[in-house]
Amino acid sequence: MITEGAARRVHIIQGEYKVLSDPDAVLSTILGSCVAACLRDPVAGVGGMNHFLLPGTGNTPMTGGDATRYGVHLMELLINGLLKQGARRDRLEAKIFGGAKTISTFSNVGEQNAAFAVQFLRDEGIPVVGSSTGGERHLQVSGASAPSCRLVDRAPVNGHRPSVDVLFDSVAELAGRNAVGVILTGMGRDGAAGLLKMRHAGARTLGQNEKTCVVYGMPRVAHELGAVEQQLPLSAIGEEILKMTAARKEGTE
């Protein structure tokens, strides 16, 4: 968790869900083709968010850590977590985010993720009150005095739109050492060169280890290029990010 003023920021990574009742808490995540479903009961004052990689089906094996990859599992966990905290099913409402088409030459997994979330919520009788899904534009960080994120229309980079390399390149140029870059499971090599540029600019960098990856592609290439300081299991990355940012803020690294 990162405290910024009155807000308590809680970051969620792939395969996680969180349920909170703190009015000062802000849930955040980073999405590509993955989808995050945000649900709340406005009367009970409780809400939560998940982050899933693939839709999954009722026949998908749900054993061990594999289950956390799939929306069919994480949606159930999120709803049940809300109900345990005092929410009522008939008052739940949802918003959906993510589901971008990240690889132009492959099937649109992001679209399938978003469609799954919509259908799941419809089947559960939970209204979707807002969404921002799909998209084929790159994300960049810009503005030295007041950094902000913006979407840009450009040709695919390494066959990807949006491309992680475009985002990481912009962070390297703008933030330099005041950044942490993380590359997670994914096919291909998108993001590896950009993460190397971030490391050369002084940023701290992490990669997901092979054992916890669904597809050990992007993290593998980044590791081979020397872009990754540490390879960690998915469950340990969030805590390491907080350690890195705290050390840099305190000047103890």
Q: Tell me what pLDDT residue 107 has.
A: 65
Tokens 């649900």, located at residue = 39
Question: What average pLDDT is seen over the chain?
Answer: 87
Domain co-membership, 143 together with 196 = yes
Q: Tokens for 13, please give them.
A: 């990574």
Domain co-membership, 7 together with 88 = yes
Domain co-membership, 105 together with 177 = no
Residue 143 reports pLDDT greater than 90: no
Q: Are 240 and 212 in contact (CB under 8 A)?
A: no
Q: Tell me what pLDDT residue 18 has.
A: 95
Domain co-membership, 110 together with 147 = no
Average pLDDT of the residues in 229-246: 91
Whole-number Å distance between alpha carbons of 87 and 54: 26
Please count the structural domains in the chain.
Answer: 2
Instruction: Please tell me which of 3-12, 219-228, 242-251 the model is most confident about, judged by mean pLDDT.
Output: 219-228
Q: Which of residues 133, 152, 169 is at a domain's end?
A: 133
Q: Tell me what pLDDT residue 86 has.
A: 96
**pLDDT band for position 1 (cuts 50, 70, 90):** very low
CATH number at residue 87: 3.30.1330.200
Size of the chain in residues: 253
Q: Tell me what pLDDT residue 2 has.
A: 32
